[in-house]
Chain A
Amino acid sequence: MLFFIAGSLFYVWSRIQVIQLGYEISNALKEKRVLTEANKKLRLEIATLKSYSRIEKLAAEELRMAKPRPEQVIVIR
């Protein structure tokens, strides 16, 4: 009898655990989706900031850089 009660209690406990874990999994999945999306947004921001026309403008106007003349180029291998 005691054995039976212990067994059924264990069963109930395990069911509760399963449901508890179910909550956790679904929260984790939700978080994953949010983070993936955030990551994508950040990557887009990087790509936008890396845009050549923007960098070229910054280099030429703010930093006063210019394209090197051929004789100013030394290739290092």
Chain B
Amino acid sequence: MKKEPINWFKIRIIFLSCLLFFCFVLILGRMFQLQVLKKEQLYKLAAQQQHVQIPLVTKRGTVYDSKGNELAVSIEVDSVYADPRKVVDVNRTANELASILQIDRKELKQRLNSHRAFEWVQRKISSKEAGQIKTLQLPGISFLKENRRFYPDSQLAANLIGFVGLDSKGLEGIEFQYDALLNGENRVWATARDALGREIAMGKVPFDKEDHYRNIVLTIDKPIQHITETELDRGVEKWGAKGGMAIAMDPMTGKILAMVSYPTFNPNQFIQYRSKSWRNGTVSDVFEPGSLFKVFLAAAALEERVVRPSDSFFCENGSYTVYDRTIHDTSKYGWLTFQQIIKFSSNIGASKVGEKMGRERLYRYISAFGFGEKTGINLPGEGKGILRHPRYWPPIALDTISFGQGISVTGIQLVTALSAIANGGFLMKPHVVEKIMNEKGGVVQSFQPETIRKVVSGETAKKVTMLLKATTEKGGTGEGAVPAGYEVAGKTGTAQKVDSLWGGYSENRYISGFMGFAPADEPKIALLVIIDEPQGGHYGGVVAAPIFKAIMEKALPCLHVVPKGTMIVKNELDSAPREEAPGTQPLIDGIKVGKGAGTIVMPDLSGLSMRNALSRMEGRGLIIKVSGNGKVVEQAPRPGTVIERGDICYLKFRSPS
């Protein structure tokens, strides 16, 4: 038999095919393993490498004043942290960092020697410090972006705005109350990354989505806030007082224009101040209003027609005993009319008016004016004062409450109630937030003026305004509160503080106050000034009234209310094209400015005949005094001056010959 030759070729082919098949099975198996068995796990791994999620720093909304000035802004700053396991030279690192950041070297070294993966070195450092550290390229030292809150105006409105803690959490004031709105959500920025770690925008481009944080616009008027703050500070320092507060409100709408509480602090370095300075006393502190309260007694009594301003009361020559207590006046008075009781601030007179009112009725009006309940201004820590139901009043309470003892109020309650007198009897809800906006500037929510209730009639409000105007006239207690060229309606108040140690009233600790509004006939600002424990003088008319005057004097022009006697000149350049428009009259010709204010501008009459001159002055309620005859050669006041009904105008005529 012939041995068949072994076909090596065939065997090789079979062997190779087997090998190939085996490899194929291996690959297939591996593929199955990767694509099917470990699919989930590998997908995740890939996603982790390709997709990065960069956490964006939580943004926090800005707080603006009513004119759009920034009052609180958040800026991204660097925070330095260390991974102590990666730090190579602990000594050198600690030395360098400590000298740049001016922090304790020993303590830092201790932290760098710990075995944790993360240690803060210093949070929220300046960009200059960050730059210095970055150039050193220290191993194990890295940076994180964090938001830091800045208050560009330092202490301006600090007690109102409050401040933010290290972790972007509002701790006081507006920052606290609107924390949830101001703070955005924690956001991540998802993007893809290539093998070199560069970012590629893939698929949907991650444009900023909207609506994450809100900006808040306050009703505060920065110039007025600044004026109020400066003048109150000056007043508190002058009288060596313990504290003070001032609130300016637009009486027509209930908008807070300025809100100042003293002592104050710098929110950029809030930690350096005592927590007492952080409070907003205007809404949280309660005190006895003293004579300031007579305003509301007067409103109640006039509304109920219990008295008329001309009714007379006997003021017992300064000492009046009711039950077991004797009420005193600062000066001894005999018979006073109701108007004089308010003007000279007689406690005895007020008591007698209160007695005529009766408990229930007086209580009804006091609570209608908003005392004893929160005003709803929506600021943290608002107090509601102490107003008991008449059922629990001791017998003397009717008399004492009439002149503001035995009742406690907050500053915001007083100025809100005063605004009701100023605006014709409407109790407005005070508000300090004008609108809430989203990050694109769209308005999310805006707060309109809100009337809570009508407390007294417009007629009564007008009568009370007359009484308050008399108070600031010559001889009244509020004489010192009137800035030149304006009419002010207001009331002084001096209250003895309740002695917490001994009970009863303290002999030498007072609260001096003044509240009022101006201009009296068309109020633009209702203002309350309170000075807590002034030294060397305590009467509201002496301590608080001059501060009131100083604030009003500077704040009213900010609202375009100019004092009487100011010259108003037409801007020729500006109004030249405007004159072509039908119906516009040149201002200098004595047309009214403002709406219905009764403000008239003195026209230029020079060179006119008597008949022409008089016809132009007629019908404006002016008293015209004429001398000489012929054409006008001189006139007083000068052309362009603001004049009022009832003013005297002198015209001097001379014949041209």
Contact = CB atoms under 8 A, between A and B. Distances in A.
Given A26-B201, A51-B152, A77 B222 contact: no
Contact of A77 (B155, B557, B570): B570
Contacts of B198: 23, 26
A62 interface: no
B542 interface: no
Contacts of B154: 51, 53
Nearest to A48: B152
Contacts of B554: 67
Given A26-B191, A29-B206, A77-B568, A52 B73 contact: no
B532 to A, nearest CB: 23
Contacts of B565: 70-71
A71 B484 CA distance: 10
B117 interface: no
Contact of B70 (A30, A41, A43, A73): A43
A19 B50 CA distance: 14
A26 B73 CA distance: 27
B567 interface: yes
Contact of B569 (A29, A51, A75): A75
Contacts of A44: 70, 73, 75, 150, 152
A69 B223 CA distance: 18
Interface in A34-77: 37, 40-41, 43-44, 47-48, 50-53, 56, 67, 70-71, 73-77
Contact of B222 (A52, A56, A67): A52
B199 A26 contact: yes
Contact of A74 (B557, B566, B575): B566
B69 A22 contact: no
Contact of A37 (B75, B569, B570): B75
B226 interface: yes
A25 interface: yes
Contacts of A40: 73, 75-76
Given A26-B199, A47-B152, A52-B226, A76 B70 contact: no
Given A51-B156, A75-B566, A77-B569, 9 more contacts: A22-B200, A22-B202, A44-B150, A48-B152, A53-B154, A70-B563, A73-B567, A74-B566, A75-B562
Interface of A: 19, 22-23, 25-27, 29-30, 37, 40-41, 43-44, 47-48, 50-53, 56, 67, 70-71, 73-77
Interface of B: 69-70, 73, 75-76, 150, 152-156, 191-192, 198-202, 205-206, 222-223, 226, 230, 484-485, 554, 557, 562-563, 565-571, 575, 587, 593
26 contacts: A22-B202, A25-B205, A26-B198, A29-B201, A43-B70, A44-B73, A44-B75, A44-B150, A47-B69, A50-B69, A50-B152, A51-B152, A51-B154, A52-B156, A52-B222, A56-B230, A70-B485, A71-B565, A74-B567, A75-B566, A76-B570, A76-B571, A77-B568, A77-B575, A77-B587, A77-B593
